[in-house]
Amino acid sequence: MNKVKIIIPALFLSILLITSCEDAFTTVKEINLPEHEKKIAVFSSLNDSICRIFISHSKSIDDNSGYDIVKANVNIYKNDKSFFSFVYPDDLKHGNITNSFIALPKSINEGEKYELEVESSEYGIAKANQIVPDSPEIKDFLYSEGFYIEQYDTLDKLEFTIEDDGEKENFYLFNASLTFFKLTRSKLNLDVSTDDPLVKEFYGNFERGFILSDKTFNGQNKKMILKLQ
């Protein structure tokens, strides 16, 4: 049984005639927590023809150690049929261990159902499935180089319009990168920012960007303005 100590600060102010004194003290409370049972933890995304993945295990609230890499068998199914399998992390050939990806045999198709199954001999099985939504219509692109000057940085401006599908709730993830084709193909992630109050910042193991729900413009057009550094 784990115990967590919570320190609660309290401040008392006493006033006597013209003088005053402050007495501060803390109270310690102990809370009993059940023993933590480690479970498999998976961070993964399927983009085009790439599977990004990081597999570890959960930690207790008082565990300050680093994340361990968990060896696991990974199976990807398409419409309930086997699509691709590999062993993590043995079969990974790209990126580092916390920002790793593997090429898929074929691209991910819109409207198809995909299921990710991760099986560890030590921590059990984790599954997730998703029907890949159709891509929205994006139009009216306008790119302005050096449009913003903020402190010591010069930022580029990217404008575009999303035609949202009103039949369901959609979420949009925005991030940006530069891809270089020379002797080898390399990728450089760009910092993305926006003044749109509806956008929420997103941090993942692999990328930083913004997430936007279509609740306020469902079925309508949404103009986006992004700042790129």
For residues 169 and 207, state if they share a domain: yes
84, exposed or middle or buried, with CB in 10 Å at 0-12, 13-18, 19+?
middle
The predicted-structure confidence for 74-88, as pLDDT tens digits, reads as follows: 999 999 999 999 999
Confidence class for position 119, pLDDT limits 50, 70, 90 = very high
Rg (C-alpha) for the chain, rounded Å, is 25
Residue 194 has pLDDT above 90, yes or no: no
Provide the 10 A C-beta neighbour count for residue 118. 23
Residue 108 belongs to domain with CATH number: 2.60.40
Number of domains in the chain: 3
For residues 105 and 122, state if they share a domain: yes
Comparing 69 with 80, the larger pLDDT belongs to: 80
Comparing 52 with 88, the larger pLDDT belongs to: 88
Given 75, 98, 131, which residue is the final one in a domain? 131
For residues 105 and 45, state if they share a domain: yes
For residues 174 and 124, state if they share a domain: no
pTM: 0.62
Residue 8 has pLDDT above 50, yes or no: no
Range of the domain at 67: 40-131
Residue 20 has pLDDT above 80, yes or no: no
